[in-house]
Copies of this chain bind each other. A is one copy, B any other.
Amino acid sequence: MEENKNILKQWVLSAINNRSSKELKEIFETIPNIDIAEAVADVDDPKQLLYIFRVVGSEYSAEFFAELSSEQQEIVINAFSDKELMELISDSYADDIVDTIEEMPANIVTRVLKACPKDLRGDVNRLLNYKDNTAGSIMTTEYIEMKDSVTVKEAIETIRIKGKDAETVYTIFVRDNKRTLVGTVELSDLIFSKEDQVLSEIMDKDFVSCNVNDDQEDVAKKFKRYDLTAMAVVNSENKIVGIITIDDIVDIMEQEVSEDIAHMAAITDMEEPYLKTPILKLVLKCAPWIIALMILQIFSTMILSKFEGVIGQFAILAVFTPLIMDAGGNSGGQTTTMIVRSLSLDEFSGKDYGKVVLKELRVASIIGAIIAVFAFGWLMFEMSVGIVNTDSILHLVNKNGGNYNAYMALVASLVAGTLFVTMIISRLVGVSLPFLAKLVKLDPAVMCGPLTTTTVDIISLITYFLLWTQIIGPIMGIGI
């Protein structure tokens, strides 16, 4: 794979440098555009880039242009004559043009808009005005729309004439006299039907559409649920204003997932490739969260601090606090991750909360019991073989008398009991916070992990020290 890339790179560069138009054309005919764009990713000489566009046919140039980096696109536009720019643009789709100029300086935007034919310019301007992450901002305006009274023969004829400018000809959108969207016809349906049938007879009425203001994540979910390859975008009057195709949705699915993953790990976002992100931006993505989480820790610090005297008296208690806090954090993290994922896949809605909590109570009790039993055995082992320093216990036995092994078992029970409570609390909190976030219309992925950990830390530390000061400590003869 890696080797193929390098070979292609050599081949493309040699074709450009030798000014071999035959070779270059052959490359474009046999290799996908994106691979060629990657091969010339380092080329920033306007002459070399221009050579490519002058040699390859218009059937490749617009798509190839869309695959270049925005720096390269800028170089090409600056080097193009007005006529060349107009040709390129008239071969491009409105949504690709919008993607291009969104990252360009103002003078280039003006030049590109000037080069657009009037219709296209209107479309581009409209697309530029839709809010980010809405259906409107990702749709394109090159689609085929026909009246429901058109015959199959006429429809195919129209596709032959107008189809080349459309982003897809596989779904034709059908409207009635009032310009309301009433159905869709697949190109295959046209092929399978008789020439004199009209569209209203063969169209699918159970089509799915979305509103221009719908969130792009919801649009992606519809594509997935209904196995669509293209979907109509309508305005509030149910008139079609654009379409979205599956290739854009695939990108959006990935973008939304990256966002969710980033939020769960407390990173601001990951919309840019790591190697291209400036150092300071990486710092700003990560450092504020670490600070915020450190501030949130004030509560567990307060609790630990309140029991500092207890720790000074019986230092072995301090050895087990990280173990308890980590186990609670891990368990809460598992639960939150599962619930956030299920919520984002719409596996359940807010009203399933009761059902989920009841289920979690049972799951958590079993996990709590397993972990408590394991922890008791594990700690007894750690203390017996000397992995854990038991000087505190020895000291106590020497001072007050009492059975060393029984005291060891009491300490292990203290940790085991705390872990039992911690497992149950961590899963209940891990379930509840994402639901709460959804209820108040926040993204459940944001901060739920860290907030769960903080809440669980507080409750488990209090449990630990209360169990000690109220029950286990007094049994062992340590008055507080």
Q: Hey, which bits of chain A sit against chain B, CB under 8 A?
A: 2, 28-32, 34, 156, 159-160, 163-164, 169-170, 187-188, 191-192, 205-206, 208, 223-227, 229, 246-247, 249-251, 253-254, 257-258, 260-262, 264-267, 270, 273-275, 279-280, 282-283, 285-287, 289-291, 293-295, 297-298, 300-302, 304-306, 308-309, 311-312, 315-316, 318-323, 325-327, 329-331, 333-339, 341-342, 345, 347-349, 351-352, 355-356, 359, 362-363, 366-367, 370-371, 374-375, 378, 382, 387-389, 391-392, 423, 450, 453, 457
Q: Contact at B266–A334, with CB atoms within 8 Å?
A: yes
Q: Which of B223, B253, B274 sits near A339, CB closer than 8 Å?
A: B274
Known: A250-B253, A254-B345. A371 touches B312 (CB 8 A): no
Q: Which of B169, B264, B304, B366 sits near A261, CB closer than 8 Å?
A: B264
Report the Cα distance A265→B430, complex, angstroms.
Answer: 13
Report the Cα distance A450→B331, complex, angstroms.
Answer: 12
Report the Cα distance A293→B332, complex, angstroms.
Answer: 14
6 closest residue pairs by CB, A with B: A265-B337, A318-B318, A312-B315, A227-B247, A305-B389, A274-B342
Contacts of A356 in B (CB 8 A): 274-275
Chain B nearest CB: distance from A188 CB in Å?
Answer: 5
Report the Cα distance A356→B282, complex, angstroms.
Answer: 12
Contacts of A311 in B (CB 8 A): 311, 315, 318
Among A156, A265, A356, which residue has the most Cβ atoms of chain B within 10 A? A265
Q: Which of B223, B321, B374 sits near A321, CB closer than 8 Å?
A: B321
Known: A262-B337, A282-B363. A389 touches B164 (CB 8 A): no
Q: Contact at A355–B275, with CB atoms within 8 Å?
A: yes
The DSSP consensus for interface residues of chain A is helix
Q: Contact at B254–A254, with CB atoms within 8 Å?
A: no
Q: Which of B169, B293, B312 sits near A326, CB closer than 8 Å?
A: B293
Q: Contact at B371–A287, with CB atoms within 8 Å?
A: yes
- Report the nearest B residue to A228, measured CB to CB: B247
Contacts of A258 in B (CB 8 A): 341, 345
Q: Contact at B267–A32, with CB atoms within 8 Å?
A: no
Contacts of A375 in B (CB 8 A): 294
Known: A32-B226, A305-B388. A338 touches B274 (CB 8 A): yes
Chain B nearest CB: distance from A119 CB in Å?
Answer: 21
